[in-house]
Amino acid sequence: MLVDAAPLDSIRHLIGQMPAASDEAAAAARARQAELTKPQGSLGRLEEIAAFLASWQGKLAPTLDRPLVAVFAANHGVVAKGVSAYPPSVTRAMMQNFSAGGAAINQICGAFGVGLKVFELALDIPTKDITEEPAMEAAETAATFAFGMEAIDGGVDLLCVGEMGIGNTTIAAAIFYALYGGSAADWVGRGTGVEDEALARKIAAVETAVALHRPFLSDPLEVMRRLGGREIAAMAGAIVAARMQNIPVVLDGYVVCAAAAILHALDKNALDHCLAGHLSAEGAHGEVLRRLGKVPLLDLGMRLGEGSGAALAVGLIKAAVACHTGMATFAEAQVAGKVADGAKI
């Protein structure tokens, strides 16, 4: 079971070098918010979002000129264990649906003017069945992480991370079980809609996989290599690349958070540049977000993946940026400010 750890150490090294936010830009954004024609704090999380974007973009006025949804797609050997309600051919079929503009994520991106890029990760060669052996070799894991990093170019000013892959809620559940403990059933949801026997098989697969790899799972990068699919590694790379390029990130649901959780386990500040787009109806997503320290922007009972919850949250972010940059100040609009507390008028 010995592997060459060097490729994974390059990831560890990178995570140690992640830049921090600009406190100056955040303070300037908050100061501007206090001047805008509204009672202070009355835009709630829209005000926080504006300051968050400013701090990570390092700009006094955050922009949302080129938001991007990056969807990473992969197939999984564990599907052979009967853990999904859909056949693995659906992963590739959905690639064509994305290309033709027929998927949910196409419509949501269209509604908010968000770019969409889909990255296929060797769909015809599923990762190994995690109930029997590690999903990936170390070099393959590192290369996939690097591929995810390269997918993000500097023109993007907001990155939404999404995924597609029949079987990947099983993968995500295994990762959470490995990282957070409890029982396998705590982390297994219905995915695309498994019930009864298929759900039991899914729980059993997660249990078997984590038991098999247990001796190596104290290292989050081994969790990623042994249990993770290629989309998990690529999404982790994309999240890190965004950080390196001052691009704030919106996380999607359960599977995306498995990639995020790997990074968080390596460094608890690794996700500081990330917003949780929504609370997914899948499995224990709320529990995952609690552990990641994220309060989701939306809670609409969605559980589709594709980056759909993150893309939907871009609507809110768009409004937050528009308010921050477009509103008049009290002085500009010649609106009277608050009267002294306690004064009758």
Q: Is 133 a catalytic residue?
A: no
Residue 148 neighbours by CB distance under 10 Å:
27
Residue with tokens 């921050």, as numbered in its chain = 324
Taking the C-alpha atoms of residue 242 and residue 99, their distance in angstroms, rounded to an integer, is: 24
Distant-in-sequence, close-in-space partners of 135: CB < 8 Å, separation ≥ 6 = 76, 77, 127, 128, 171, 225, 226, 227, 228, 229
Query: In the window 114-173, what residues touch its own copies (CB under 8 A)?
Result: none
Element (H, E) at 342: none
CB closer to its own copies out of 139 and 204 = 204
CA neighbor of 165 nearest in space, from 310, 281, 306, 309 = 306
> Which region, judged by CB under 8 A, interacts with its own copies, from 37-45, 144-152, 179-187, 268-276?
37-45
> Does residue number 36 form part of the binding site for its own copies (CB under 8 A)?
yes
Nearest distance, CB of residue 18 and its own copies, angstroms: 28
Residue 89 C-beta: closest distance to its own copies, Å = 6
Kindly indicate which of the ranges 20-28, 141-149, 192-200, 284-292 contains the residues binding its own copies, using the contact rule CB under 8 A: 192-200
Residue with Cβ nearer its own copies (115 or 315):
315
**Cα-based distances in Å from 6 to 9, 10, 127, 140, 233:** 5, 7, 21, 12, 16
Interface stretch with its own copies, choices 19-27, 118-126, 215-223, 314-322 (CB under 8 A): 314-322
- Closest CB to its own copies among residues 115, 147: 115
- Judged by CB under 8 A, the residue of 3, 60, 204, 298 near its own copies is 298
Query: DSSP alpha helices (H): ranges in 36-88?
Result: 45-57
CB nearer its own copies, residue 170 or residue 308 = 308
Place of tokens 């889909």: 118
- Contact string 79-108 vs its own copies (x = CB under 8 A): x-xx-xxxxxxx--xx-xx--xxxxx-xxx
Catalytic residues, which ones? Answer: 306
